[in-house]
Structure 1
Amino acid sequence: MATPAPLPPAELISSGKMFGGFNRRYKHFSPTLGCSMTFTIYFPSTPLTCTTVPVLYWLSGLTCTDENFIMKSGAQRAASKEGIALVAPDTSPRGLNVEGEADSWDFGVGAGFYLNATEEKWKNWRMYDYIVNELPTLLSENFPQLDTSRASISGHSMGGHGALTIFLKNPDKYKSVSAFAPISNPVNCPWGQKAFSNYLSSNKSDWEEYDATCLVGKCNKVSTSILIDQGMDDKFLQDQLLPNHFEDACKAANVPLLLRFQPGYDHSYYFIASFIDDHIHHHVQALTSS
């Protein structure tokens, strides 16, 4: 079998020092998505004796880019202290000018839902393949200081949905998973139903392949606890996020879950910044235990 051709290289856009490490933003052409993409890496300050660092992928939510988490979460302080890299990709293809891609904030541009679309019109929306396959390969080819074999995944809202589903479908690729206010049962909420009906058509069994509540009972390799934080003053809690559905599914499947409801917190990055250190520590324990 022929060796796959190397991916197009990543080009540095910007760099800024923070807590001894560097936020560095890159762009590259994605063969998977058929367009240029951006991603940001926080490289921690590491001792000279440390040759590689593990990776925590962060998947952002609706309307976001690769920059929201990097600019607003404050995660770099704990990441630098613990010696892990943060990798924040964009949330969807951009610049394809597909009709209707920017008609609403919860679908299309900024709303890739971390799936592989099956509808022809949205054929470039293959964020699942981009996150699971292309991006780790690109990182391995361009950044030898990153140990992509030691990786965990986290995210917020739509990105929390992405983190949970990607982890549950690929338990051998990631050491741990966590989420802030994830869309936990998208087949039963308006955001998910809108996205899935457009990207995946009307076949509900296809929808369930990207629903954490449906997937958790099919995954028998979850050995580390799943961590979820949910703000109790989140206006999307009751209609869109449905964490209790996921909790019930985890109990039925005997999957370890720590679901924490945080009084007074909403859906914003104020909430994420308040608890991100706990999530970094959660992942560090898994990334350094083997």
Structure 2
Amino acid sequence: MATATEKPSETSSAKMFGGYNKRYKHWSPTLGCSMAFSVYFPPSSSHKFPVLYWLSGLTCTDENFIIKSGAQRAASAEGVALVAPDTSPRGLNVEGEADSWDFGVGAGFYLNAKEGKWKNWQMYDYVVKELPKVLSENFEQLDTSRASISGHSMGGHGALTIYLKNLDKYKSASAFAPIANPTNCPWGLKAFSNYLGNNKSDWEEYDATCLIGKYNKITAPILIDQGEDDKFLQEQLLPHKFEEACKSVGAPLVLRMQPGYDHSYYFIATFIDDHIKHHAEVLKSP
């Protein structure tokens, strides 16, 4: 069995826009299983690259963003490395882990589960603590002290909540179609009740709309893009609830409603350059 300090093993590599998409596997003590993550390294530079973490949505792996988003063009030009972790533990064979697409495998919700059956679902600690340590110890070309975070849907929820709770670790945040108020939507109710139990105060610790009032000392505006033709908009995503919460505490938010766009990676690919540039400005500022 691998140890916490063992170097991740490279499983694939492909050149793109002068840099390289690389995929790695490593043993995660936090999750108790082998995990994969993908990194896009921009073309070689005399300077270390700042890091933009991307958290993907329900059913996704670390590869969806790397393959579908086209983010590498802007990341190459801006000199920002992209890091995409997987969305949940895998291979643990917990009863019921694959019974539905919106819970269990591929649906970690970037929280630390409290219910015993799901004790390995510690994606918050994996993203916030373990993965940055793995990167800083094994990739000298990355400057993990300069980091920002973004994501889509469930991953947008993860990006917003992780950012708000760790303003000392991330310089900016953005999201595409985030689950912005999970304590009030079916996806969130299902995930939180099963992972966290019935204590609603535990749920609120993973709800950006609830957190913004607690952690509102934000300097860089949060950028959110939301497709107006997204079939999940009204029932699951609730970005306007987050917008209202931001306004109530004076937190800087740019919420862009995009006419005609849906929930897919076609939507993400259309606006991803804006997000890369949004983060690059902050990451590269003195």
TM-score by length of 2: 0.98
Structure 2 letter corresponding to 1:168: L
Q: Distance in 2 between matches of 1:222 and 1:56?
A: 18
Pairwise mapping of residues 15-34 of structure 1 onto structure 2 (< 5 A)? 15-34=13-32
Partner of residue 10, structure 2 = 12
Aligned-pair identity (%): 77
Secondary structure in structure 1 of the residue aligned to 2:212: helix
Equivalents in 2 of 1:202, 1:272: separation in Å? 34
The reply on whether 1:242 has 2:238 as its aligned counterpart is yes
CA distance in 2, matches of 1:30, 1:51: 29
Residue 6 of structure 1 deviates from its aligned partner by 5.2
Residues of 1 paired with 2:139 and 2:165: CA distance? Answer: 26
Matched, 1:231 2:227: yes
Are 1:146 and 2:142 an aligned pair?
A: yes
Structure-1 residue corresponding to 2:62: 66
CA deviation digits over 1:130-189, x for unaligned, max 9?
000000000011101000000000000000000000000000100100000000000000
Instruction: Tell me by how many angstroms 1:221 deviates.
Output: 2.0
Cα distance between partner residues in 2 of 1:288 and 1:131: 22
The aligned residue for residue 46 of structure 1 is: 44
* Mapped pair 1:87 → 2:83: yes
Q: Does the 8 A contact of 1:46 with 1:83 survive in 2?
A: no
> CA-to-partner distance for each residue in 1:234-269, whole Å, 9 max, x for gaps?
000000000000000000011000000000000000
The residue identity in structure 1 corresponding to 2:237 is L
SS in 2 for 1:9: coil
**Per-residue deviation, residues 167-218 of structure 1 (Å, max 9, x unmatched):** 0000010010000000000000000000000000000000000000000000
Work out whether residues 101 and 109 of structure 1, in 8 Å CA contact, stay in contact via their aligned partners in 2: yes
1:16 aligns to what SS in structure 2? Answer: strand
Moved over 6 A (4+): none
Where 2:257 maps in the other structure, the secondary structure is strand
Q: Does the 8 Å CA contact 1:43/1:85 hold for their aligned counterparts? A: yes
Q: What RMSD over aligned residues (CA atoms) do the two structures have, in Å?
A: 0.8
Per-residue displacement from partner, 1:103-129 (whole Å, max 9, x unpaired)? 000000000000000000000000000
The 8 Å contact of residues 115 and 210 in structure 1, kept in 2 or not, is answered as yes
Output the amino acid matched with 1:184: A
1:164 matched to 2:160: yes
SS in 1 for 2:272: helix
Paired position in structure 2 for 1:275: 271
Instruction: Please give the per-residue CA displacement for 1:50-106, whole angstroms capped at 9, x wherever unaligned.
Output: 231100000000000000000000000000000010000000000000000000000
Could you tell me the TM-score, scaled by structure 1's length?
Answer: 0.97
* Cα distance between partner residues in 2 of 1:191 and 1:103: 14
Q: How far does the alpha carbon of each residue in 1:16-69 deviate from its partner, in whole angstroms, 9 at most, with x for none?
A: 00000000000000000000000000000133xx23110000000000000000
1:102 to 92, 98, 101: 98
Gaps of at least 5 residues in structure 2 are: none
| Distance in 2, Cα, partners of 1:7 & 1:200 | 30
* 1:259 alignment counterpart: 255
What secondary structure is seen at the aligned counterpart in 2 of 1:173? coil
Q: How far apart in 2 are the matches of 1:150 and 1:227?
A: 18
Would you say 1:130 and 2:126 are equivalent positions?
yes
Report the residue type matching 1:112 in the other structure.
G
Residue pair 2:150, 2:174 contacting (<8 A) in 1 also: yes
